[in-house]
């Protein structure tokens, strides 16, 4: 009796320890060939607010989250040195202004006309003396003396004529330089009022009133309101597969379990030598309700779709080239597109062929 019980228990254990292999069938389904990319969200037209000049922040007229309009003054700077330079340029402009120096030209023109009259009069007198000389009324030396007087008056006239030309050119040049210096100084002071480049929203402010800023110092970030783009990094080995308009499947850490659709709108042709990646941009087709700049994302760019592919689950493929048939035989196959769940079989299996994951025990 005891022997029978032991035999029965052994038979029971043998049956209870045996496992039925997990099986599946080859199916026909759609599969996408994709390229992986990572990146972040950026607001459309996003830019860093900077100052073109050095100065202290006098006032900040915006707060984070505020909506702003294009050309709206958002920050004011001050710089005593630039204000002094502007005042000096203004005084110099008034001093060199052509209209303010017209009297100098008038005075020289008056002297020029006087000199011309004297030269003309001397020339007439010289002609008369020449006639008198021919009639022996005056001596040769008297004639030559008056000839010298006429030549001198002519030289004075020509000299004043040249002076007038030089004065006119110099005053015009001074006028232009004075206006240019004033305009430059005015522009510098005008640039102390920093304005928004776009209609958008203030995302962050880096500085506070009283702080010193220099040219190219980031002061704030402004971007489009509720308009976002995807900034993605593509490996150099995959960039030739990427084309404008391709669909993108997007996953965001802030939206767990959800997938959003987008499409490629821009491909940068320049490779980052350090990371060996290219930057591409995308636009949401179905945009999440709430987004913020710099949210991280992962994406799969669909570069090819096979609507009727022979597919098996990835876990049924071994060593990238083999599957196990229902009878336990090892079968060599060729594969094509692969995604996270499935792999395409291009050769070696037919639809509805049953395959298994062999029992390791």
Instruction: List, for residues 50-76, the tens digit of each pLDDT value.
Output: 988 888 898 999 999 999 999 999 998
Q: Using DSSP bridges, classify how beta strands 55-60 and 27-43 pair: parallel, antiparallel or unpaired.
A: unpaired
Q: How far is CA 216 from the centre of its chain?
A: 14
Task: Report the share of the chain in percent with pLDDT over 70.
Answer: 87
What pLDDT score does 109 carry? Answer: 87
Which of 90-99, 155-164, 302-311 comes out lowest in average pLDDT?
90-99
What pLDDT score does 6 carry? Answer: 42
Segment of 1-10, 261-270, 283-292, 330-339 carrying the highest mean pLDDT: 261-270
Cα angle: 149, vertex 151, 153; to 5 degrees: 70
Q: What CA–CA distance (Å, rounded) separates 171 from 98?
A: 6
82 pLDDT higher than 70 = no
Q: What CA–CA distance (Å, rounded) separates 65 from 224?
A: 12
pLDDT: is 176 or 242 the higher one?
A: 242
What pLDDT score does 218 carry? Answer: 93
How sure is the predictor about 186, in pLDDT bands with cuts at 50, 70 and 90? low
How many separate helices (H) and strands (E) can be counted in the chain?
4, 20
Q: Which among 49, 52, 69 is positioned nearest to 60, based on CA atoms?
A: 49
Q: What CA–CA distance (Å, rounded) separates 347 from 310?
A: 9
Which of 99-108, 210-219, 313-322, 327-336 comes out lowest in average pLDDT?
99-108
3 pLDDT higher than 60 = no
Provide the CATH topology of domain 20-44+227-361. Elongation Factor Tu (Ef-tu); domain 3 (2.40.30)
Q: What is the pLDDT of residues 14-55, one digit of tens each?
A: 444 445 778 999 999 999 889 999 999 999 999 999 988 888
- Phi then psi dihedrals of residue 258, to 5 deg: -110, 145
Q: Read off the tokens for 214.
A: 């220099």
What pLDDT score does 99 carry? Answer: 77
Q: Which among 317, 360, 352 is positioned nearest to 336, based on CA atoms?
A: 317
Across the range 180-203, mean pLDDT stands at 81
Across the range 345-349, mean pLDDT stands at 93
Residue 138, number of CB atoms within 10 A of its CB: 17
224: which DSSP letter? -
Provide the CATH topology of domain 47-77+192-220. OB fold (Dihydrolipoamide Acetyltransferase, E2P) (2.40.50)
Q: What is the pLDDT of residues 239-294, one digit of tens each?
A: 999 999 999 999 998 998 899 999 999 999 999 999 999 999 999 998 898 999 99
CA-CA distances (angstroms) from residue 300 to 233, 259, 284, 349?
11, 10, 13, 28
How sure is the predictor about 81, in pLDDT bands with cuts at 50, 70 and 90? low
pLDDT: is 218 or 3 the higher one?
A: 218
Q: What CA–CA distance (Å, rounded) separates 101 from 245?
A: 66
What lies within 8 Å, CB to CB, of 113 at 6+ separation is none
pTM over 0.75: no
Across the range 207-219, mean pLDDT stands at 90
Q: What is the pLDDT of residues 112-168, one digit of tens each?
A: 899 899 999 989 988 988 888 888 888 888 888 888 998 999 999 999 889 888 888
344 close to 337: Cβ distance less than 8 angstroms: yes
What pLDDT score does 265 carry? Answer: 96
């Amino acid at each position: 009796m005891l022997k029978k019980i032991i035999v029965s228990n052994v038979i029971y254990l043998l049956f209870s320890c045996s496992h039925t292999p997990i099986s599946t069938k080859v199916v026909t389904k759609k599969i996408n060939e994709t390229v992986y990319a990572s990146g972040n969200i950026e607001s459309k037209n996003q830019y860093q607010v900077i100052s073109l000049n050095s100065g202290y922040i006098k006032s900040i007229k915006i707060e984070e989250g505020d909506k702003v309009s294009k050309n709206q003054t958002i920050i004011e700077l001050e710089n005593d040195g630039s204000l002094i330079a502007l005042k000096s340029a203004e005084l110099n402009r008034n001093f060199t202004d052509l209209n303010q120096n017209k009297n100098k030209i008038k005075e020289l023109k008056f002297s020029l006309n006087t000199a011309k009259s004297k030269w003309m009069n001397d020339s007439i007198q010289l002609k008369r003396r020449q006639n008198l000389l021919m009639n022996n009324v005056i001596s040769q030396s008297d004639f030559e003396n008056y000839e010298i007087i006429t030549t001198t008056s002519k030289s004075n006239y020509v000299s004043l004529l040249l002076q007038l030309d030089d004065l006119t050119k110099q005053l015009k040049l001074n006028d232009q330089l004075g206006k240019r210096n004033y305009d430059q100084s005015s522009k510098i002071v005008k640039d102390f009022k920093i304005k928004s480049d776009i209609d958008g929203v203030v995302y962050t402010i880096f500085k506070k009133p009283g702080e010193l800023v220099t040219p190219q110092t980031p002061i704030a970030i402004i971007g489009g309101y509720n308009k976002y783009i995807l900034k993605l990094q593509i490996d150099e080995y995959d960039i030739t597969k990427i084309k404008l308009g391709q669909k993108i499947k997007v996953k965001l850490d802030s939206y767990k379990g959800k997938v959003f659709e987008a499409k490629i709108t821009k491909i940068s042709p320049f490779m980052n030598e350090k990371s060996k990646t290219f930057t591409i941009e995308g636009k949401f087709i179905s945009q999440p309700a709430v987004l913020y700049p710099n949210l991280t994302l992962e994406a799969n760019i669909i570069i090819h779709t096979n609507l009727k592919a022979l597919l098996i689950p990835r876990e049924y493929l071994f060593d990238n080239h083999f599957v196990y048939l229902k009878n336990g035989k090892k079968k060599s196959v060729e594969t094509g597109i692969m995604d996270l769940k499935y792999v395409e079989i291009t050769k070696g299996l037919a639809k509805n062929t049953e395959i298994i994951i062999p029992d390791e025990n």
